[in-house]
Amino acid sequence: MLKRLINFVLGYINVEIEGYYIEKFINMCKRKEIFLWGIRKQKVTVLKAKIAKIDIEQAKSIAQENQCIIKIKNQKGFPGLWKRYKKRKIFIISFFLLLGMVYLSSKFIWNIEIQGTSKINPDEIVKEAEDSGLKVGMLKCKVDAESFINKLRMERTDISWLGVEIKGTNAIIKVVEAEEKPEMFDENDYCNIIANKSGEITKIYAHSGTPLVKEGDVVEKGDVLIAGWMEGNFTGKQYMNGNGVVKAKIKYTDSEKIDKKEIKRERTGKKENKISIKFNNFKINFYKRLSKFEKYDTIYAEKKLQLLPNYYLPISFIENTNFEIYETEKINDYSSAKLQGEEVIHNKMDKLIHGEIIDKSTDVIEYDDYYKITVMYEVIEKIGTKEKFNI
Amino acid sequence: MSKFDKLFEIPQELVSEIPKVTILGFEKLLLENYKYILEYQDVFIRVKMKFGIINIYGVNLEMIEMTKDDLIIMGTVESIEFEKL
């Protein structure tokens, strides 16, 4: 392989050797360290071989001694190529220009990739990076990753580690998200049970500690429900790990506006594709007409051109897909607005409520062009959480 | 073989001029430590080695690689003959 490469760079010649003493010629060449390869007998007196370009003159003189004739068939390798393309100046100039452009473009960053995010939106980090100087289209040597990392680490608490790696023209920002771990309580710690929501107490059991509220009391968020101490007649005040179950009736209310006239947009199923090319910030559209649809939604999909796995070019293809839509006007009357509003609120509340719903009431107020729907839930929920205290 | 070579267990074919013939799949032949070519036809090759002559019979014999000590022959090899001098 290496030998082939060297032969290609230095150039070699396909020759035809004719004569009666060809074996003698080959042996003479071998003795003088001129090496032939690809030797093939064509006729009884004619031989085809390959010879390095630098050895041809010496081989010619050896052939003369042995009464052989060397005919040069064709030249191969880089010198031959060079000779052929030397006259085509524009071709050579544009070839080197292309090489130079590829080299120059490799000095810039053309893509930012975020790895390791699950909760954090990658766009946020891209935006932060752009603000602190790491953006698409900047010189690789001017990237100040250190200050960006420090800045982001200071600002955000949900990132536990951050690294910037530049591979080719791709800047990879690796993020390790910090996990919010719940506060652990030791059995020996002193703690109170406090209310995390306001409501009316329906049940309270204290396993350990002293209950400070009764059933039927209305508590605010943050009130102590079970205190982490006990007072005996003889033992005095003894601190402990407060524990117990507190249930309360909590009211949740939410309201939603439903318009009387509602415009619904639906896709008809027809779509069209349009392609445009983007050079960094300069966009060229490959279509001249506007969309044939009257009303449509457009979805952009951008794909960056890659030369090698980590070698992005500042050229990207954008595929615009237009989906035709039709709009219908829907008039909501009282009952349908109520149903719709209840559904919206129910979906919202589902995430908040963890207990048992015991009552639900809906209130609808009609305005000029909308209905206001207010829904109130009454829920029985556990409201106690532990809070440490020091004596 | 000298005492030095024996001490360091250098392979025999590296230090001496003993010919070595390797056949790969009846179509590739490697001759090491050859001296010179006596005759070359596309059906018959006669190569001089240090201790004798090797005759190779075959079809479409081609010498694809030639260096100072090694010779690689490609083609359909039918038989090989040794002539000890």
Contact A23 B39 (CB under 8 A): yes
Which chain B residues touch A if contact means CB-CB below 8 Å?
36-42, 61-68
Cα A336 to Cα A264, A333, A341, A365, distances in angstroms: 15, 6, 8, 14
Contact B65 A37 (CB under 8 A): yes
Give the confidence band of A356 by pLDDT, cuts at 50, 70, 90: confident
Q: What is the pLDDT of residues A292-340, one digit of tens each?
A: 787 888 888 888 888 777 788 888 888 888 888 888 888 878 888 888 8
CATH fold of A2-82, please? Alpha-Beta Plaits (3.30.70)
Q: Amino acid identity, residue B64?
A: I
**Positive or negative CA dihedral for B62, B67, B68, B72?**
negative
Which one is predicted more confidently, B54 or A122? Answer: B54
Which one is predicted more confidently, A349 or A17? Answer: A17
pLDDT at A368: 80
**Token code pair at residue A83:** 């000779």
Q: Amino acid identity, residue A200?
A: E
Show residues of chain B in contact with A39, CB under 8 Å: 40, 62-64, 66
User: Does A41 lie at the interface with B, CB-CB under 8 angstroms?
Assistant: yes
Contact A37 B62 (CB under 8 A): no
pLDDT at B74: 92
What domains are defined for chain B? 17-84 (2.60.40.2000)
CB-CB contact of A17 with A46 (8 Å): yes
Q: Amino acid identity, residue A374?
A: T
The reply to whether A111-177 shares the fold of A2-82 is: no
Contact A26 B66 (CB under 8 A): yes
What is the complex's ipTM, to 2 decimals?
0.83
**Positive or negative CA dihedral for A178, A182, A183, A188?**
negative
Across all residues in chain A, what is the average pLDDT? 83
Show residues of chain A in contact with B34, CB under 8 Å: none
Contact B40 A37 (CB under 8 A): no
Q: Best of B33, B39, B42 to disrupt the A interface by mutation (most A CBs within 10 Å)?
A: B42
Q: What is the pLDDT of residues B34-84, one digit of tens each?
A: 988 999 988 999 999 888 899 999 999 999 888 888 899 999 999 999 998
**Three-state secondary structure along B16-40?**
CCCCEEEEECCCEEEEECEEEEEEE
CB-CB contact of A387 with A223 (8 Å): no
Contact B37 A27 (CB under 8 A): yes
Question: Average of pLDDT values for A41-53?
Answer: 89
pLDDT at A298: 84
What is the DSSP track for A174-191?
EEEEPP-PPPP--TTS-E
Q: How far apart are the first and last CA of chain A?
A: 81
Percent of chain A whose predicted confidence (pLDDT) is above 90: 6
Show residues of chain B in contact with A36, CB under 8 Å: 63, 66
Residue extents of the structural domains in chain A: 2-82, 111-177, 191-250, 254-261+331-379, 262-328
pLDDT at B13: 67
Cα A383 to Cα A186, A340, A388, B56, distances in angstroms: 21, 31, 16, 98
Which CATH number is correct for A111-177, 3.10.20.310, 3.40.50.10190, 3.40.50.620, 3.40.50.300?
A: 3.10.20.310
Cα A113 to Cα A103, A110, A162, A163, distances in angstroms: 22, 10, 13, 12
Contact B63 A44 (CB under 8 A): no
Give the confidence band of A238 by pLDDT, cuts at 50, 70, 90: confident
